[in-house]
Amino acid sequence: MKTTRMVLLFCFMLFAPVGPWVHGQTVPPARNPDLSRSVAKPESPREGQWQFRLIPYMWATTIDSKVTVGGYDAETTTTFSDIWRNLAGAGMLHFEAQKGKVGFFLDPLYMKLRADGTFERRRDPNVPAIPRDLTLTYEQWLVEFGGFYQIGKWSVGQNKGQWMTVDILGGGRYWWVRADLDTSTVINPTETNQWIDPIIGARLTADLTKKVIFNIRADVGGFGVGSDFSWNGIATLGYRFSDRITGLLGYRVLYIDYKSGSGRARYEETIHGPLAGLAFAF
């Protein structure tokens, strides 16, 4: 099958987390739960209070997609340069709250893309398929939700204000996916599917210095409950400008493999690319 450039987007996303960028993202150790520990001093009096985290950021993604709708196959790759030329729309809102060792997160994401490609109608496996031009319109809602618990915290380095923490997390990802194929014929299949993937994972955050933070997160999900399988990973470096503002640079990958119960639709996507943002703690 001919592989073509695709129109994708994922330009900017607003308001995600400061602690762990929990959509697979990472940030300073959430200061578990306060950024004040970046300075060598006694525990913050807010230790037992709720802490909230928001972060605006940009994800410069490349998306590799394999989509089957009603017997038609489309395979496309979209680079970040395609996104700027063919922006369709995207939005993200991430909220996180933490008190002591326990916290929760909610992360709704919307994305829409259009792509020009080719398709093949699979009728008889013994007869060669004739490729045709197509336009794929793809919309997706992804809502991630769940909680996390700090299972370990250790002092690192010679500075008493430097920490390494490990959290476990669990929850779910709700997916809503709609794919429309304009095949330039009288047959223009449309499929809408929705499912929930359970997810489990962990994250590690470490103060490399008083100002520099390293964070890595990984989770897996699906397990045949919703999708066949999915996984998500991110690594970031952060620079702490103050107790409450941290700059972030990193890389994120999200993979999903889903087949509908009827077998008429399948979505296999790998979304990956560098990201940058500013994290705020309240």
* Residue 17 half-sphere exposure toward CB, CA atoms < 13 A: 29
Q: Which residue has the higher pLDDT, 37 or 72?
A: 72
The answer, yes or no, to whether residue 32 has pLDDT greater than 70, is no
Res 154: pLDDT: 93
The answer, yes or no, to whether residue 29 has pLDDT greater than 60, is no
User: Among 14-23, 42-51, 182-191, 202-211, whose mean pLDDT is lowest?
Assistant: 14-23
The answer, yes or no, to whether residue 250 has pLDDT greater than 90, is yes
d(CA 25, CA 37): 21
Other Cβ atoms within 10 Å of 175 Cβ, number:
23
d(CA 158, CA 202): 26
**Residue range 257-277, pLDDT digits in tens:** 988 766 667 888 898 999 888
Res 193: pLDDT: 81
Whether the model pTM is above 0.95:
no
φ, ψ at 7 (rounded to 5°): -90, 120
d(CA 232, CA 255): 6
H helices, E strands: number in the chain:
1, 15
Q: Which residues pair with 265 in a beta bridge?
A: 69
Nearest by Cα to 22 from 141, 140, 108, 112:
108
d(CA 79, CA 96): 30
- The DSSP secondary structure of 232-246, one letter per residue, reads EEEEEEEEESSSSEE
The answer, yes or no, to whether residue 183 has pLDDT greater than 50, is yes
Going 75 to 175 to 232 to 30, the CA torsion angle's sign is positive
Res 15: pLDDT: 27
- Residue 215 · residue 240 · CB < 8 Å: no
Question: Which domains, ranges and CATH numbers included, belong to the chain?
Answer: 4-281 (2.40.128)
If you search the block for the tokens 């979505």, which residue do you land on?
267
User: Among 12-16, 102-106, 248-252, 276-280, whose mean pLDDT is lowest?
Assistant: 12-16
Does the bond joining 33 to the residue before it have cis omega, within 30 degrees of 0? yes
Cα-Cα-Cα-Cα dihedral of 189, 195, 198, 199, to 10°? 40
**Residue range 133-181, pLDDT digits in tens:** 777 777 888 898 999 999 999 998 776 778 999 999 999 999 898 878 7
Other Cβ atoms within 10 Å of 240 Cβ, number:
21
Q: Which residue has the higher pLDDT, 28 or 156?
A: 156
In three-state secondary structure terms, 83 is helix
* Section 61-68 average pLDDT: 84
Mean pLDDT of the chain: 76
